[in-house]
Amino acid sequence: MKIVAFNGSPRKTAACATLIESLCAGARAKGHTTRVFHLIDQDVKPCIACYSCMGHKAEICSQNDDFIGMAKEIMAADVVVMASPVYMGQVTGLFKTFFDRWLTFAEADFSIRHVVGKRFVTIVTSGAPAQQFKEVTEYLKHWVGDFFKLKHAGSLVAGDLHEPGDIHERHELLREAEALGRSL
């Protein structure tokens, strides 16, 4: 099985990245392959609302940037991991710019192509206690699950995180992430 993860944090070794890595380690222990994209390293332009994707004028998207390769990875994957810190009460701008480009998976009549039936995991980290921003997880579950029709395979929420290394003290959460990876 193939797992592809997207990290919406600009910090490549902090909480989201570490939880992704624990999840992927669990998945690899079960023989699955994993690939992680740190969105900060990717050239992803904002959606320009040209609707070429929905009108089938472009195979995936009319903009030729790193999203095209990531969309192909999503199409080839069995499980998609969507990870973002909470910034100003929502996913990061980095993550949202990437997610807007998922419009390519919607048809003109809003039926969904390429991703229906795949499974997804959400990871949300925050400075505040985790329960304070549970609506961010609900937002991801709604749009990835209800709208894009992937099947929910699990969610990790981690709060009270400030310094990049704080997550390394959260042994129970790291075990939970690894167990989720093993269960996929």
Ligand X SMILES: Cc1cc2nc3c(=O)[nH]c(=O)nc-3n(C[C@H](O)[C@H](O)[C@H](O)COP(=O)(O)O)c2cc1C
- Interface ranges with ligand X (CB under 6 A): 9, 11, 14-16, 85-89, 125-128, 133, 161-162, 164
Closer CB to ligand X, 22 or 125, in the complex: 125
Q: How far is the CB of 184 from ligand X (least distance, A)?
A: 21
Q: How far is the CB of 96 from ligand X (least distance, A)?
A: 13
Structure tokens at 179: 């167990």
Q: Does residue 118 sit in helix, strand or coil?
A: coil
Q: How far is the CB of 99 from ligand X (least distance, A)?
A: 16
Structure tokens at 100: 């807007």
Q: How far is the CB of 125 from ligand X (least distance, A)?
A: 4
CA–CA gap between residue 112 and residue 127 (Å, rounded): 34
Residues contacting residue 118 through CB under 8 Å, at least 6 positions apart: 74, 77, 78, 79, 80, 150, 151
Closer CB to ligand X, 57 or 162, in the complex: 162
Closer CB to ligand X, 87 or 120, in the complex: 87
- Residue pair 76/109 in contact (Cβ under 8 Å)? The answer is no
Closer CB to ligand X, 104 or 125, in the complex: 125
